[in-house]
Copies of this chain bind each other. A is one copy, B any other.
């Protein structure tokens, strides 16, 4: 069943059941997605109300469609869904996405049980119900029923995102687009009636476009299966997980949300630890972590810090110590190199304070010296863009450092419009940029820990 997900993610033909001409209705937004995104395959609107929709023939039933249908997206009321799934079987479709809500989450298990039965019997992969479905920027499949002017779609990339919640999923998509982070696959799976997070992990492990996997979940149907699956996949591709519904109140909220039992958070936390999965503590932190996982893996935890603002260097050092990383001790050669860059009254310390007079060249030389030093495993580079000598050329220096691939880097810049514009340029060039020392250091620590895990596996 899992291999058949390809019919959903990269279909040659898609039928939209519940297609509509009413603006902002789910069946309208999705149809527009396929048309506006210039999906290269066939698109079949299905709705007995219309003869034509946006110039396309609209079918009364799936059975009327003459050609083959790889993927069916259903956006009709819950009561109608089981019969439509039966029609999908008759039509021999490859896979189904059910967006409609009104199943387990409102105790209509009768409906979801029927869907499950049909799917199992006929080996039919079904995503949902009660979800946003899928987005694949490569194939242009997009069942996210939120208008593009409000929710930007990210560019193609290597990060896959599996989410139980549509709301969390949509905000993550929007943030990814905002930050310029590329996505390989987006899966909002809602109630997980047929396929669950473990199945999607399996699929993505073999997906060529995916290198990093983000998982947001409230409750797994099968905790044991999830643990084993995470163990297997995380060795090949890092998983960054966010678990919601941690306490009693949160668990109750989760139950009425996707009909799933959130389960003991302690059990999940233990499972993440056992599988060495990187756990995030919020949506923003997912991005903090994802950005740095694209950097080369460090050999250890000894960090070199460069700054042009003393106070931010002090704050960064605090987090380094707090997170269990180490301030690197520079080699004698490095110290000599760095002394040449500093003003006469400066002293070579870690953090290396280039002071506010520091220009592009000082950064360039300091980075090069630290890249060469075998006593340093990773670099944190603080650039306060407010000082006069810092101009656009620093972007080139940092991009070069990020592309260097000898050691991972994280950059920190804090400020207003000018700084934010600069940070977005860095992000678009794949340079991890943070607006807080805490975020940068936490992310670096997670990368160090994961790299350490992979190293131990090799031994």
Residues of A at the B interface (CB closer than 8 Å) are 24, 29, 101-102, 106, 146-147, 149-152, 163-171, 174-175, 177-178, 216, 218, 244-250, 252-254, 256-258, 262, 281-284, 307-315, 317-318, 320-322, 327, 345, 347, 349-351, 353, 356, 384-389, 414-420, 435-438
Contact = CB atoms under 8 A, between A and B. Distances in A.
Counting from the closest, the 4 A-B pairs by CB-CB distance are A165-B311, A167-B309, A178-B416, A247-B321
A312 B167 contact: yes
Contacts of A257: 310-311, 313-314, 353
A314 B165 contact: yes
Contacts of A163: 311
B171 A386 contact: yes
A423 B218 CA distance: 27
A245 B168 contact: no
A146 B171 CA distance: 36
Given A178-B415, A250-B317, A281 B356 contact: no
Copies per assembly:
2
Contacts of A256: 310, 347, 349, 353
A314 B415 contact: no
B245 A314 contact: yes
Given A349-B252, A436-B282, A436-B283, A318 B245 contact: yes
Nearest to A320: B249
Nearest to A281: B438
A249 B311 contact: no
Given A311-B167, A417-B152, A253 B384 contact: no
A24 B349 CA distance: 27
Which of A244, A246, A254, A438 has the largest number of chain B CB atoms within 10 A? A244
A415 B253 contact: no
Nearest to A172: B414
A315 B168 contact: yes
Nearest to A284: B436
